[in-house]
Chain A
Amino acid sequence: MERFGTFLGEASSLSRHFDTLFLALFILCSLVTIIITFLIVFFAIKYRRGASTSRFIIRKSTAIEFAWTIIPFGLFLAIFVWAAYFYTELLVPPDDATVDLDIAIVGKQWMWKLQHPNGKREINKLHVPLGKNVRLTMISQDVIHSFFIPAFRIKHDVLPGRYITIWFRPIKLGKYHLFCAEYCGTDHSRMVGQVIVMEPSAYAQWLQQK
């Protein structure tokens, strides 16, 4: 996975939480797939036409049906709660007191324009300090775009005529992909950029550069 570090490095405080939940569901789904596939193949062989085996059936199904209605119900409820709890963490930014840095973002066909608190601007690049809570306030000048940093596991659509705020806390130095994830016209796939996570001191220095 090192090769894909610019995508999926565990680069934000939210990444690990995502990975745990994803892994849990991946295991669950794999188990179900393996069990059902095994049963299908097993029955297909054991009860193939011509094989000598008992085929006597008592077709009482109600109890079984209830069992395999209620078990998934319980499982799904648990997954729902876990995922929903984490969703609020992702989408509801922390309050003003715990935000370290506010960045304003404007999306337009086909670039990202970003502005730091001291007025410094950049295009298709986002420099951020390590370990700080960064809040993004985003709006679009034209169509809907979507601000997506895979390594941070965050994404949110950027709408015209309405401010959207999301947040993240980078926990690993490095350079990561920034994508536009909502189809926005001809050069949608070129509306990409880079997120650069720096030491806070380096970031402070960078902010002062002209």
Chain B
Amino acid sequence: MSANAAAEYTSYLDEGETLKSWLTTLDHKRIAVLYLVSITLFFFIGGIAAAVIRLELVTAGGDFVTAETYNKSFSLHGIVMVWFFLIPSIPAVLGNFLIPLMIGARDLAFPRLNLASWYLYTLGGIFTIGMVIAGGVDTGWTFYTPFSTMFSNTYVIAAVLGVFIVGFSSIFTGINFIVTIHKMRAPGLTWFRLPMFVWANYATSVIMVLATPVLAMTLTLVAVERIFQIGIFDPALGGDPLLFQHLFWFYSHPAVYIMVLPAMGVASELIACFSRSPVFGYRFMAYSVMAIAILGFLVWGHHMFVSGESVYAGMMFSLFSFMVAIPSAIKVFNWTATLYKGSISFEAPMLYALGFVFLFMIGGLTGIIVAALALDVHLTDTYFVIAHFHYIMVGGSVMAYLGGIHFWWPKMTGRMYPEMWGRIAAVLIFVGFNVTFFPQFLLGYLGMPRRYHEYPEELEVLNVISSGGALILALGYLLPLLYLLWSLRYGRIAGSNPWEAKGLEWQTSSPPAKYNFRETPIVTEEAYAYSPYKV
């Protein structure tokens, strides 16, 4: 950048300092920051609920909180972590910030829709916090009927309303991404030159747009049955409780891919950059994310193997579940192969990315175990399933999210985070995570049911270990909050491309100007044109 150009340049952060300028912004980068602040808040709310759960489980008896409070805690934890943190995390923060930059565009296709989606998120969040203040909900994040519609005497309607609203924010984000990626790519940026991060968010958006309306409909039916007792799900009124589970998982299984596909995208970017080699098997990686997004719609019944669905339906869903595991396996193999003959360095984002691959692999392999019908009969609704999905969603997705935040922090803020602290936190989180969740596989194998306020004494030791791990994990999560805030002021100035990374987002200044690129870039090379020899 010439001295002259530098003088005219104002970063997007300096476009206005008032609260109003933030709350009315249409800039995708500022909206990403709004999301970053809000989801961080919800992450810590969900975290407090988790702390209550782990504290209660330190002893076998139910002594720290009452059964009601315990049940409300895990319900709040699930609702907040799934809908208010993990689903929006990578797409709404990193995707929002990066997709226009990565494709050489000035903004998303619909900036107003983008802001509206953040307002819906916030409205849904306020409902949920209001619901908790009013007294909370005790149905679990799964809202199984007829418990939720006819038996629970907590604030079910407020809770489903909060989720209903936040669902629309993810539909809006999905629509925006799809249109943007189709229509606004820079000249020369063909589909097979897109970064994996863009592919992953594209696949995620398709799921958001197709699956979330089903959730909205299902939750509406729950509210309607609760208010008017019309007998959709409650057999006492002529309804069918399994209908709810089919509808709920028809959304919620694809939703687990909403939570993990973007993480896969982040991992691909980080691994390629820090091993200085192109993502191995690029096309297979792109096909894999699309295959996962499509096959993910055909496996919902694997949450219902012992629910009373027919034995043959169970078999079909099991078979499809194994099929969806294949593209997941391909991804793990390809990340490993990307390292081969690279030139690898271990900055904090890379530590997070490698941690992601390992934990995602364990999560995926235990997915195979619970997809094996006869094994799931014993393991379902135990801590084995809890461990399985935490390995993927927390071990995998949250690691990738944090890795991405560190990697693009210099782009977002113009400053570097402190590298040593970054590495310490990554290691702490990895260790804390495993100590927390590995014992839960053993607990589940032994048969400890989930959602238990009290449990048999023989299981106390493993539970104490798990709670101890949670303490380490909590510390690990607090660290980045502190040093990232610190770096806003004291961090080293980053420069436009501190990692010498490829990708259009690194070709513009850090932090970028409001309009992203002075001139629309023209793309002439494949994605990840890294070479292990340079640098």
Q: Which residues of A contact B (CB under 8 A)?
A: 3-4, 6-8, 17-18, 21-22, 25-26, 29, 32-33, 36-37, 39-40, 43-44, 47-49, 54-57, 59, 61, 64-65, 68-69, 72-73, 76-77, 79-80, 82-84, 86-92, 109, 142-144, 146, 148, 150-151, 153-157, 159-162, 164, 177, 179-190
Name the residue of chain A whose CB is nearest to the CB of B237.
A161
**Chain B minimum-CB-distance residue to A150:** B447
| A146 adjacent to B315 (CB under 8 Å) | no
A83→B374 contact, CB < 8 A: yes
Q: Which residues of B contact A55 (CB under 8 A)?
A: 341-343, 532-533
Q: Within 8 Å of chain A (Cβ to Cβ): is B332? A: yes
The reply to whether A21 and B372 form a contact with Cβ atoms under 8 Å apart is yes
The CA of A194 and the CA of B451, in the complex, are separated in Å by 19
Instruction: Map CB proximity to A onto B325-369 as digits: 1 under 8 Å, 0 otherwise.
Output: 110011011101101111111100000001001100110011011
Decide if A65 touches B67 in the complex (CB within 8 Å).
no
15 new A-B pairs (CB below 8 Å) besides A87-B318, A143-B146?
A39-B339, A48-B343, A48-B344, A57-B277, A80-B318, A83-B373, A83-B375, A84-B319, A90-B377, A148-B381, A150-B378, A160-B241, A183-B140, A183-B450, A189-B451
Known contacts A65-B330, A68-B330, A183-B140; is A43 also within 8 Å of B242 by CB?
no
How distant is the Cα of A110 from the Cα of B357 in the complex, in angstroms?
A: 42
A145 vs B361: C-alpha distance in the bound complex, in angstroms? Answer: 32
Contacts A/B (CB < 8 Å), 16 sampled: A7-B458, A21-B375, A36-B336, A57-B340, A72-B326, A76-B323, A84-B318, A86-B373, A90-B374, A150-B446, A150-B447, A160-B235, A160-B241, A162-B308, A181-B382, A188-B453
Q: Which residue of A lies closest to B305 (CB)?
A: A87
User: Which residues of chain B are near A49, meaning CB under 8 Å?
Assistant: 276, 343-345, 535
Contact B62 A182 (CB under 8 A): no
User: In the complex, A8→B343 CA distance in Å?
Assistant: 48
- Determine if B344 and A80 form an interchain contact, defined as CB atoms under 8 angstroms apart: no
Contact check, B365 vs A32: say whether CB atoms are below 8 A apart: yes
Partner of A68, one of B333, B341, B365: B333
Do residues A72 and B236 form an inter-chain contact, with CB atoms below 8 A? no
Residues of chain B having any CB pair with chain A under 8 Å: 62, 67-68, 71, 138, 140, 142, 144, 146-147, 150-152, 234-236, 241-242, 275-278, 280-281, 284, 305-308, 311, 314-315, 318-319, 322-323, 325-326, 329-330, 332-334, 336-337, 339-346, 354, 357-358, 361-362, 365-366, 368-369, 372-375, 377-378, 380-382, 445-447, 449-456, 458, 532-533, 535
B381 touches A181 (CB 8 A): yes
Q: How far is the CA of A54 from the CA of B381 in the complex (A)?
A: 50
B314, A87: Cβ atoms closer than 8 Å: yes
Closest Cβ–Cβ distance, residue A46 to chain B (whole Å): 9
Q: What residues of chain A lie closer than 8 Å to B354, measured between beta carbons?
A: 40, 44
A65 to B24, CA, bound (A): 48
Complex Cα spacing A36 to B340, Å: 12
> Which chain B residues lie closer than 8 Å to A86 at the CB level?
373-374
B62 and A91 contacting across the interface, CB-CB below 8 Å: no
What residues of A have a CB within 8 angstroms of the CB of B333 in the complex? 36, 68
Is there contact, CB below 8 Å, between A61 and B236? no
* B365 partner residues in chain A, CB cutoff 8 A: 29, 32-33
Distance A49 CA – B284 CA, assembled complex (angstroms): 27
Q: Are A154 and B377 in contact (CB under 8 A)?
A: yes
Query: Whole-angstrom distance from the CB of B314 to the nearest CB of chain A?
Result: 7
CB of B107, distance to nearest CB on chain A (Å): 35
* Complex-state Cα separation, A107 to B451, whole angstroms: 18
Q: Which of B340, B377, B445 contacts A47 (CB 8 A)?
A: B340
Q: Are B381 and A87 in contact (CB under 8 A)?
A: no
A157 to B152, CA, bound (A): 19
- Is there contact, CB below 8 Å, between A159 and B235? yes
Question: What residues of chain A lie closer than 8 Å to B446, measured between beta carbons?
Answer: 4, 7-8, 150
Kindly provide the distance from the CB of A66 to the nearest chain B CB, expressed in whole angstroms.
Answer: 9
Q: B151 near A56 (CB under 8 angstroms)?
A: no
Cα–Cα distance between A177 and B446 once the two chains are bound (Å): 11
Q: Contact check, A180 vs B449: say whether CB atoms are below 8 A apart.
A: yes
List chain B residues, Cβ under 8 A from A182.
Answer: 144, 381
Cβ of B242: which chain A residues have Cβ within 8 Å of it? 159
Question: What distance in Å separates the Cβ of B399 from its nearest Cβ neighbour in chain A?
Answer: 14
A186 touches B337 (CB 8 A): no
| 3 smallest beta-carbon distances between A and B, as pairs | A150-B447, A161-B235, A87-B373
Chain B hits for A189, CB < 8 A: 62, 67, 449, 451-455
Is the Cβ of A59 less than 8 Å from the Cβ of B306? no
